Amino acid sequence: MATDETTAILWLRRDLRLADNPALNAAAEADRVVPVFILDDSLLGRPMGAASLWWLDKSLRALAGALEDKGAPLILRRGDSEAELRRLVEQTGAARVCWNRLVEPEAAERDGDIRQGLEADGVEVEVFDGLTLAKPGTIRTQTDGPYKVYTPFANALWKAAEPPPHTTGPRQMKSVSRLQSDDIDDWKLHPTRPDWSKDFDGTPGEDGAKAALRRFLDGALDDYADGRDIPGKLGTSRLSPHLHWGEISPWRAIEAARDSRGPAAQADKFASEVAWREFSAHLLHDFPQMVEKAFRPEYDRMPWRTDAEGLEAWKRGQTGYPIVDAGMRQLWAAGWMHNRVRMIVASFLIKDLLIDWREGEAWFWDTLVDADLANNVQNWQWVAGSGADAAPYFRIYNPVTQGEKFDGDGAYVRKWVPELSRLDRRWLHAPWTAPAEALERADVKLGRDYPRPIVDHAEARKRALDALKSVGSSDAED
């Protein structure tokens, strides 16, 4: 395509925003910008989960509208990323391609190959860090190694990382006309027959991210350190899917919390949670094998059980432990689960049922709208005791006491396990201990309306500790 105007392709992946988008800002320096999203099932080494596709569908629609208003319509393509990028370069005569860096091992390797190929053909490639607080691989120990413990990593991060200047994105852009683009309806990212997403929480898109941040600052931030552990209240930021899809910069979220009128200690706690997310991304960059293997190799010798019935009961929220079942039902209905409950349900699967953490990670990958490979793998391994800076394996959450401590009034269980809604709070988290008359008053018959526990926690705890000793881990309890 002969033209005197310069053209840049903006390759969007998980940076679905206009503000604080360094790749967009760089592309907009050209005379014409061609934003493209390529649905490439092989990009991350595994297909996206169904809940993630639901969120992506809405987020892309929102971004397409925003880009259309700016004068640069979003081009949608499906297929091999490199092939589609090359086709666009040929069709537009683009001399530059800009994108923001991904940390997933397969994506990073593929990006490197694409960059090398494009540059060999004379196309300039610019890669930016718009998804993390710092470029993975740059926060190093004094011996130039990766951090394996969170606190020193976070200390080094805050010393080394500098927030980039806030940008709102270009006011207007020009693009290339008559480019072929897929119809997003043809991608069928939204589920049908049946539509299991009707109760999903959240509003995908950059405006949705801004609204979620505002609600957090106006409501939950003042009591965040304690309130974030109570699943029955709106005590968390609910920003995780927005951060995963790049609908808001992590720097902007932290700065907004610190600039608010809320207590500084609460904003610092929120920043530390974003830094934990960052820690996971940096670990995945330096230890890509952790996706499939235990970070601490001895844990790959764990004598995991094959228990198809137990796994299915866990997935469906039918374990007989109300706080576990409430979490798993929230996940299925809403595509999201409260953070404290994520730890409880993960501990139950790994330690009460002695089922491999990879089974749980795969289920979360498919059912969470905020499914993030680095976070997902790191957090599952944290609970399993096999990860970096992980909880020791002998820390086994008791699902009854966890429910009583963090859902004392029973609001969370009553919402997601309605068959127990009339049961007195004294028995709510252990209904099998309730007197017959209490169950009768609540119209609950165990085994009919609600299952009996599929495992005895005390016995399961002993079994888990015996399994730990068999692998020779230093975590084994005396």
Catalytic residue set: 273, 276, 304, 339, 357, 380
The candidate with the shortest Cα–Cα distance to 160, out of 182, 129, 195, is: 129
The helix/strand/coil state of 77 is strand
> How many helices and strands (H and E) does the chain possess?
20, 5
The candidate with the shortest Cα–Cα distance to 275, out of 127, 369, 378, 204, is: 378
- The pair of structure tokens assigned to 24 is 């967009």
The candidate with the shortest Cα–Cα distance to 209, out of 177, 237, 184, 171, is: 237
**H helix or E strand, kind and range, residue 75:** strand 75-78
The span from the CA of 477 to the CA of 24, in Å, is: 52
- 194-229 burial, b at 16+ Cβ within 10 Å, e below that, comes to eebbeebebbbbbebbbebbeebbeebbeebbebbb
CB 95 within 8 A of CB 7: yes
Sign of CA dihedral 378, 289, 21, 15: negative
The span from the CA of 348 to the CA of 1, in Å, is: 60
Pairing of strands 75-78, 96-100: unpaired
Torsion of CA 229, 230, 233, 236, to 10 degrees: 10
- The pair of structure tokens assigned to 313 is 């009961």
Give phi and psi for 437, each to the nearest 5.
-70, -30
CB 43 within 8 A of CB 70: no
C-alpha dist (Å) from residue 111 to 54, 287, 367: 25, 18, 27
Strand partners, 446: 450
Q: How far is CA 225 from the centre of its chain?
A: 20
CB 291 within 8 A of CB 373: yes
Residue type, 371: A
The helix/strand/coil state of 450 is strand
The candidate with the shortest Cα–Cα distance to 426, out of 446, 403, 457, is: 403
